Amino acid sequence: NAGVTQTPKFQVLKTGQSMTLQCAQDMNHEYMSWYRQDPGMGLRLIHYSVGAGITDQGEVPNGYNVSRSTTEDFPLRLLSAAPSQTSVYFCASRQGPHTEAFFGQGTRLTVV
């Protein structure tokens, strides 16, 4: 059972570089989300999607883009990396509005 798969697990970027964090799920879930985790802040929502072709902003969307061309994939793009984007990023999926979320193992990103 793969569940939610995130790649890469670790990444170091230089300020100004761009990159894409990949997220794929094999549970046919409509709802997918990206969060960032910072010490003492819990998980904060960056972007979310309720189905292919539908995305919306969360609490901290600035500097990030998403797209949802298929049900399975929900990539997160950093347009021009900044040190403030140093964080651990989690992708999650869930079946419906009242169900639990399943999380990937996270991507630890450092921007220098």
Partner 1 sequence: AQSVTQLDSHVSVSEGTPVLLRCNYSSSYSPSLFWYVQHPNKGLQLLLKYTSAATLVKGINGFEAEFKKSETSFHLTKPSAHMSDAAEYFCVVNRSGGSYIPTFGRGTSLIVHP
Chain CA centroid to CA 49, Å: 11
The Cβ of residue 20 has, within 10 Å, a number of other Cβ atoms equal to 13
Size of the site for partner 1 (CB under 8 A): 25
Q: How far apart are CA 66 and CA 40, in angstroms?
A: 26
Q: For the window 41-80, what string marks contact with partner 1 as x by the rule CB under 8 A?
A: xxxxx--x-x-----x-x----------------------
Q: How far apart are CA 95 and CA 101, in angstroms?
A: 8
Q: Which stretch binds partner 1 (CB under 8 A): 11-19, 62-70, 71-79, 91-99?
A: 91-99
Q: How far apart are CA 20 and CA 59, in angstroms?
A: 20
From the CB of 28, what's the least distance to partner 1, in Å? 17
Q: Does 97 bind partner 1 (CB under 8 A)?
A: yes
Q: For binding to partner 1 (CB under 8 A), which residues are involved?
A: 31, 33, 35, 40-45, 48, 50, 56, 58, 90, 92, 94, 97-101, 103-106
